[in-house]
Amino acid sequence: MTFASKVRLGFFSFTEITDPNGHRAYNEWHQLDHMPEQFPLDGVAFGRRWVSTPACRAARVASGPRLDPIHYLTCYLMTEPVARTLEEFAALAVELRAAGRWFDDRRAVLSGPFPLVDGAAAARVRVSAAAVPWRPERGVYAVVHDATTAAADPAEWCAVPGVAGAWAFADERRAITVAWLDDDPLAVADRVADLVPAGAELAGPFTPVVPGEWDWFDGA
């Protein structure tokens, strides 16, 4: 990495809700029950979830067949002890499912840990690249592409107005860029389109999930 961070990886979940009428129940479960239980784990330093609203979906630059159905993006940032954190993270899921605290009408289309590779912050925001995820944001722009494909680095993303910072993650197969936005995600989507690499599996804006404001798909 070109910057110092205590974070070692991001655990991502790109999630489809399989019951069209299940969004409210899913959000109530995840936001008020499921996600809070992750934070007591030693290595979970951050957790956030965003939604691809109908307007965000329409603004996607890329949406391949695998990731096209997804509605939500979840990201947990994990620090050392990474191995133990991942074990406890998985064990907690088993425990909560056994206790009946689970939501079945969903599908994690792409899910797993991705090591942190690089990060940058826009000079205008003053905070360091390591602090970017904890700075209040208005949404994110996420790109998923093949790990062997050349792509814009986080500093290039930070040159775009409305991008406060960007972090890059990758495993052997896929790379994920998350740009943290301090402007309207739909407005920024138009500005960053040229940074999306050819053949990306997914590229588009997401807006934060706000407690109780879960009506994006009502009547859809």
Q: What is the pLDDT of residues 156-183, one digit of tens each?
A: 999 999 999 999 999 999 999 999 999 9
Q: What is the pLDDT of residue 219?
A: 77
Q: What is the pLDDT of residue 3?
A: 83
Nearest to 183 by CA among 149, 156, 160, 214: 160
Query: In the chain, what are the domains?
Result: 7-208 (3.30.70.100)
- Rounded CA-CA distance 9/115 in Å is 4
- Rounded CA-CA distance 78/21 in Å is 32
Q: Are 186 and 59 in contact (CB under 8 A)?
A: yes
Instruction: Output 81-84 pairs: Cβ under 8 A, ≥24 positions apart.
Output: 81/42, 81/43, 82/8, 82/9, 82/43, 84/42, 84/43
Summarize the confidence of residues 115-138 as an average pLDDT: 97
Q: pTM for this one?
A: 0.97
* pLDDT value at 1 more than 70: no
**DSSP letter for each residue of 62-119:** EE-TTTTT--EEEEEEEESSHHHHHHHHHHHHHHHHHTT----SEEEEEEEEEEEEEE
What's the Cα-to-Cα distance from 205 to each of 39, 189, 196, rounded to whole Å?
26, 6, 12
- φ/ψ (deg, to 5) at 98: -65, -30
Summarize the confidence of residues 19-24 as an average pLDDT: 96
Nearest to 178 by CA among 127, 136, 116: 116
63-75 confidence digits (pLDDT tens): 999 999 999 999 9
Q: What is the pLDDT of residue 122?
A: 98
Sort strands 163-170 and 106-121 into parallel, antiparallel or unpaired.
antiparallel
- Rounded CA-CA distance 176/83 in Å is 21
* pLDDT value at 220 more than 80: no
Token pair in block for residue 100: 């009946």
For tokens 């740009």, what's the residue? 179
